[in-house]
Chains A and B, each alone.
Chain A
Amino acid sequence: MTADTTAHDIEAPGVRIRDLTVVYKTPAGELPAVRGVDLALAPGTITGVVGESGSGKSTLALSLLNAVQPPGRIAAGSVEIDGLGDVLTLRGEDLRRARGRQVGYVFQAAQNSLNPLKTIGKQLLDLGRSHDVEDLRGLVRDAKDLLARMGMDGARVLDSYQHELSGGMRQRVGIMLALVLNAKVVVLDEPTTALDMITQATILRIIREVHEERALTTLVITHDVGAVAEVADSLAVMYGGRVVEHGPVTEVLGDARHPYTQGLIRAIPRLSGDLSLARALPGRPPTLGTLPTQGCVFRERCERRMDVCETDEPMSVNRDGRTVACHAADRHLTLVKRKELV
């Protein structure tokens, strides 16, 4: 592949996740880590997925590559990517090609996912060969361009071993490797975890800029609401394997409707705002084994819990571009609507 500029003219692909369920085999039977998730990534946008430990966010990210490892198994649903079809039906060679070519993935702790025994350049060439890139020179040129774009000396970086690079530099190398084959859908799993504040800000800015320049569709997975707020267009909040709220980032943060989102925002240490209003969520994040099998997954920590939450799982309700799965939020809105009618 050459440094083909035509790629920039192609429309960014859309991604539609439908009714995705991923289960893990445990001694207690198969338990769902992701359950009935519907999520659409609009072409050319950055979607942030926020969740704590056990929310299923990393499993969701892996599903986009159809890369869930045993004991995990994708039990139901589809992941459709424009120009590629349903990723979950791809097998073998087709799947391997799709990874890297169409879907770039920056792994969690990308700082540690480089091979310590090979220079970055060697790893780049390995990547090129495994995807049958004929013009390896062009590939190296692309890589250097990308690295320069991210403020690094490409030639020097390609000659380096991973231990010669700082955490922030490795993270950028990870992004370069995910993009160099001209993938149009990019998944970043915890791209800034374990980085310093200033480095994090730099990486987030780079993600945003590269995203816009290359017309990508980007998914950022993180536990850090702040990081997502800074970079994403829309925000999906996951809890206990469910997407409980999804909408434009400013609206979700400015006017959260799900009690979990509200509690999470209140629990973020911030530079501004009243200290006395800040408080941690009671209880603790669920694990696979402690997830309730019926009713709302959040009810044990919820301050607006009702009887119906014990028995019925709240449906995702879409209203003016925002999705919320909560009985209380639902009722609240209906009540408002009724009042307006009267």
Chain B
Amino acid sequence: MITGTGITKIFKQRGGVLGAREVPALRGVDFSIAKGGAVSFIGESGSGKTTLGRIVAGLESHDGGEIVIDGVPMSSLSHRRRQPYFRRVQLIHQDPYSALNPTRTIHQTLEAPLRLRARQTGRPRSWVDGRAAELLAMVGIDPGYVLPRYPHQLSGGMRQRVVIARALTMDPEVLVADEAVSMIDVSLRLGILALLKDLRERLGVGVLFITHDIATARYIGGDGELYVLYRGQVVERGATEKIIADPVHPYTQSLLSAIPVLHGLERPGAERVVPREMQREGEPDGGCLFARRCPFSTERCEHEMPVLGRDGGPGEEAGEEAGQEYACFHPRRRSVIPVGVGE
């Protein structure tokens, strides 16, 4: 079980006569991932979703808030003592091409972490080879074919499976999958997503799924939870299927509206939302972060910042169902997602 409370991260940008400018990448994000659970973070570039994933994987520091792994707050530990905890969280990179060392065979790539694991768990060294084959079979590739090969001899989909197998060598509790399918051929994407779902069910591995494509989040498990991030703030949160079917925050609605419609198979939603402007860098922080682009923003949105759960949370017009929260002064359901032609 991993929880994060009030995670903040500030990047210092160089430049300007006034010296460093501070850009908040995360503004107090709360989340928790249970054993075998699935949590998806959705957002555009600059939303802070990748930064969050790296913080959870222990690859980046944060400026505020607390990460708790299995009941142990990480801030209470020294850098060295933290390592074994963060090893339980493994990051799956977006790019399966740079994630594998081109000069090492798959066998070598898996052998090193497995030897380490054998030492940690007091297993004999002979366990290593069998485990490597076992892990590859688990991610759906033929060990006999893959083990002696170099990364360049494998397809993108196979490489991504090897990357997942390598992450599994540490018997992780949580896999952080950052855009894990965006560089995979379309015909193979569902295979990787189904694999993540399968690993959740069979091994009880939690998945933190980071993506800009909401549609893919559906495929790692129907019980998943979805967080919509905008400029470092969670603007909407709830069950994945629920939010996709009934988005309330205008930003979530914009994201869903932007997903291409497969004309011929589906019809566009009746109330698609298009933001008024493109995202710009260095926007002011006063008021709702989405106000300038939001087609429904009012005077109030310009000056006051809505808070997740409190403003427009459960109980108001739109979100009776428990669990769905959003940060918006003017919440309203809109049917924005495509409808199947047959329906």
**Does the CB pair A281–B188 fall under 8 Å?**
yes
Is B139 engaged at the interface, CB distance under 8 Å to the other chain? Answer: no
B265 and A197 contacting across the interface, CB-CB below 8 Å: no
Interface status of A250 (Cβ within 8 A of chain B)? yes
How far apart are the CA atoms of A278 and B191 in the complex, in Å?
10
The reply to whether A197 and B219 contact each other, CB–CB distance below 8 Å, is: no
Query: Considering only CB atoms, which chain B residue lies closest to A263 in the complex?
Result: B187
B219 engages A166 (CB within 8 Å): no
Tally of A-B residue pairs with Cβ under 8 A? Answer: 142
**How many angstroms between the C-alpha atoms of A168 and B277 in the bound complex?**
12
How far apart sit A229 and B262, CA to CA, in the bound complex (Å)? Answer: 5
Tell whether B108 is near chain A: CB-to-CB under 8 Å. Answer: no
Contact A254:B190 (CB < 8 A) given known A166-B281, A272-B338, A273-B340: no
A117 CA to B218 CA in the complex, in Å?
43
Q: How distant is the Cα of A151 from the Cα of B44 in the complex, in angstroms?
A: 20
* CB of A341 closer than 8 Å to a CB of B: no
Does B202 sit at the interface, judged by CB under 8 A? no
- Chain A proximity mask over B19-55: 1 for CB below 8 Å, otherwise 0: 0000000000000000000000000110000000000
Residues of B within 8 A of A202 (CB): 278
B212 at the interface (CB under 8 A from A): yes
CB distance from A236 to the nearest CB of B (A): 15
Residue of B nearest to A52 (CB): B185
A87 to chain B, nearest CB (A): 30
Given A199-B278, A201-B257, A284-B155, check contact A229 B264 (CB 8 Å). yes
Q: B142 contacts the other chain (Cβ, under 8 Å)?
A: no
**Residues of chain A lying within 8 A (CB to CB) of residue B258:** 197-198, 200-201
Q: Inside 8 A of A284's CB, which chain B residues have their CB?
A: 155, 157-158, 185, 188
List, in ascending order, chain A residues with CB within 8 A of B261's CB: 226, 229-230
Whether A52 contacts B186 by the Cβ 8 Å rule is: yes
Does A333 touch B at the CB level, under 8 Å?
Answer: no
> Is there contact, CB below 8 Å, between A253 and B264?
yes
Q: How many residues of A contact B (CB 8 A)?
A: 46
- In the complex, which of the residues B155, B187, B275, B343 has the most CB atoms of chain A within 10 Å of its own CB atom? B187
**Complex interface: chain B residues within 8 A of A223 (CB):** 185-186
Residues of A within 8 A of B185 (CB): 52-53, 223, 284-285
A15 contacts the other chain (CB 8 A)? no
How far is A225 from B274 in the complex, measured between Cα atoms in Å?
Answer: 21
Q: List A contacts of B219 (CB < 8 A).
A: 269, 275, 278
Interface: A252 (CB within 8 A): yes
Measured CA separation A253–B157 after assembly (Å): 25
B45: chain A residues at CB < 8 Å are: 167, 196
In the complex, which range does the number of interface residues on chain B fall in?
A: 35 or more
**Using Cβ atoms and an 8 Å threshold, which residues of chain B touch A263?**
187
A268 an interface residue at 8 Å Cβ cutoff?
A: yes
Q: Mark A137-151, 1 if CB is under 8 A from B, else 0.
A: 000000000000001
What residues of chain A lie closer than 8 Å to B218, measured between beta carbons?
Answer: 269, 271, 275
CB distance from B260 to the nearest CB of A (A): 3
Q: How far, in whole Å, are A273 and B341 apart by their CA atoms in the complex?
A: 10
Contact with B along A208-247 (1 / 0, CB 8 A): 0000000000000001111101100000000000000000
Q: Is A249 an interface residue (CB 8 A)?
A: yes
Assess whether A279 is interfacial by the CB under 8 Å rule.
yes
> Does A271 contact B256, Cβ atoms closer than 8 Å?
yes
Taking a contact as CB atoms under 8 Å apart, the answer to whether A250 and B263 are in contact is yes
Interface residue A204 (Cβ < 8 Å from any Cβ of B): yes
Contacts of A281 in B (CB 8 A): 187-188
A280, CB-defined interface residue at 8 Å: yes
A151 near B187: Cβ-Cβ < 8 Å: no
The answer to the question of A177 belonging to the interface, with a C-beta cut-off of 8 Å to chain B, is: no
- Does A94 have its Cβ within 8 Å of any Cβ on chain B? no
**Nearest A residue to B267 by beta-carbon distance?**
A272
Q: Identify which of B187, B255, B263 contacts A230 (C-beta below 8 A).
A: B263
Contacts A202-B278, A229-B260; is A264 near B187 (CB within 8 Å)?
yes
Q: Which residues of A contact B (CB under 8 A)?
A: 52-53, 151, 166-169, 196-202, 204, 223-227, 229-230, 249-255, 263-265, 267-273, 275, 278-281, 284-285
Give 29 CB contacts A-B under 8 Å.
Answer: A52-B186, A53-B156, A53-B185, A151-B278, A197-B259, A198-B254, A198-B278, A198-B279, A201-B274, A223-B185, A229-B261, A230-B263, A254-B264, A254-B265, A264-B187, A265-B262, A267-B190, A269-B213, A269-B218, A270-B262, A271-B215, A271-B337, A272-B338, A273-B340, A275-B219, A280-B187, A281-B188, A284-B155, A284-B188
Beyond A169-B278, A272-B340, 15 additional contacts (C-beta under 8 Å) are A196-B44, A197-B44, A198-B275, A200-B260, A223-B185, A223-B186, A229-B264, A230-B263, A254-B263, A254-B341, A269-B190, A270-B266, A275-B218, A278-B219, A281-B187
> What are the 4 A-B residue pairs with the smallest beta carbon separation, nearest first?
A254-B264, A226-B260, A250-B264, A280-B191
Query: B residues bordering A, Cβ < 8 Å?
Result: 44-45, 155-158, 185-194, 212-216, 218-219, 222, 244, 254-266, 274-275, 278-279, 281, 337-341, 343
